[in-house]
């Protein structure tokens, strides 16, 4: 199965489709350690979006800036 990933300066965010409600789920898969020193595995960021366009636009902030 293919994966759609946003590869940013801070994180890699996976975008996948939820077949139950049709939303796009964006999940942080790999995250650079922050200034607090927490390891990459500690990022639990995830958001749901109505469509792929919104997901790509808004999840980009997490991939590029870690927000």
Torsion of CA 27, 19, 24, 22, to 10 degrees: -160
Higher local confidence (pLDDT), 62 or 30: 62
Top-confidence residue, 63 or 66: 63
Structural domain spans, the chain: 4-65
Tokens representing residue 51 in the block: 């469509």
Across the chain, what does the average pLDDT equal?
85
Higher-confidence residue of 46 and 39: namely 46
How far, in Å, CA of 25 to CA of 51, rounded?
Answer: 9
User: Which pTM was predicted?
Assistant: 0.80
Q: Say what percent of the chain tops pLDDT 70.
A: 84
Local confidence band at 44 (pLDDT 50, 70, 90 cut-offs) = confident
């Amino acid at each position: 199965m293919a994966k759609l990933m946003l590869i940013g300066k801070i994180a890699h965010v996976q975008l996948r489709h939820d077949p139950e409600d049709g939303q796009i789920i964006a999940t942080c898969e790999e995250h650079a350690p922050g200034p607090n020193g927490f390891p990459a595995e500690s990022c639990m960021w995830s958001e749901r979006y109505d469509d792929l366009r919104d997901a790509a636009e808004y999840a980009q902030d997490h991939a590029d800036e870690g927000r």
